[in-house]
Structure 1
């Protein structure tokens, strides 16, 4: 029998077993969009592997990502201390206004990508309106996590501007991801799965070439 816990710990690297287990248990207990039907008391293979990959990515990206996430946790603690537990209605809607705003934000982001002029504003606005037009709790949860992840990535980008001296080998440098649309990354954009993307989810060859040059020490 495959030991998925062991594989997850190998993804994360030595010394992170406790963190991998904590994330895996949380995912299995609270994740509302499982990719399978194996939802029992024991942590499933999907949740072990997802936790291991998450920790591995965080560790490989170094102190910058960890520091920003620590600030997020500190802000959440401050909010709870000031306001206590907050349980407001969602307030999202699938009415025409919200759907139109989501469509407009998506098209603006894709158009900017095609023109090579995409900004964090474009990306976060698209994610925001996609979330605000979701009423299904599971899909809303997924969108809110994307909003949070894009926000963290934006903060990391701001911090990199004030800390240009990046240590480490060329292969460790943080080069922009080809994907600019989390929907593409998560497989929601059908044309991106198994074939070329047709919806402007990628920044294109320039970034691919930049990544290639950096990894070979030619930046």
Structure 2
């Protein structure tokens, strides 16, 4: 039986994330200039380095397969109680590490590029998941009345109480800032 894909939260927009990535890349290029590095430390023995990375990729693949196998767990798990039945424990850390090590193990430039694109897509997917968690908290967030938009200096937008779909970029940034406790990350 085909189920419809899960609805996407309107606050989680891949284009927004990709725009942030582009802005970050631009800032880095402006600061450091264009960077060109070898794929590996030239002092390393290429085949040994790639085999080590492949070993780590295989290890994380095995670990992720174990995490994906539904099990019944007790107190440590977010599902908490065995009455919830078997469930998987797949997590972003393992998925990213497996993909990163598999990418590092790749020798052929075209396949390396394809793996880097997969790794970047996985990082974007994880970022979207983090944004969904932020959006869940933002749904009840009320910004301070002193907030002013950067574009025109106006006070809080009428759509910002609470932050929701269609909120401006400044309001979205304010939520992220306040949820970090005012600490720049």
* TM-score (structure 1 length as normaliser): 0.46
More helix by share: 1
- Quote how far apart the aligned CAs of 1:99 are: 1.7
User: 1:102 aligned to 2:57?
Assistant: yes
Contact 1:134–1:140 (Cα < 8 Å) also in 2 = yes
- Quote how far apart the aligned CAs of 1:102 are: 1.2
- Quote how far apart the aligned CAs of 1:62 are: 5.5
Match of 1:129 in 2: 101
CA distance in structure 1 between the partners assigned to 2:121 and 2:24 by the alignment: 15
> 1:67 is matched with which residue: 16, 28, 31?
16
User: Gapped runs of 5+ residues in structure 2?
Assistant: 1-7, 71-87, 140-163, 166-185
Contact 1:94–1:133 (Cα < 8 Å) also in 2 = no
User: Gapped runs of 5+ residues in structure 1?
Assistant: 1-59, 168-219
Runs of 4+ that moved beyond 4 A: 60-63
Secondary structure, counterpart of 1:162 in structure 2: helix
* TM-score (structure 2 length as normaliser): 0.54
Match of 2:121 in 1: 149
User: 1:86 aligned to 2:35?
Assistant: yes
CA distance in structure 1 between the partners assigned to 2:9 and 2:17 by the alignment: 12
User: 1:114 aligned to 2:56?
Assistant: no
Number of residue pairs matched by the alignment = 109
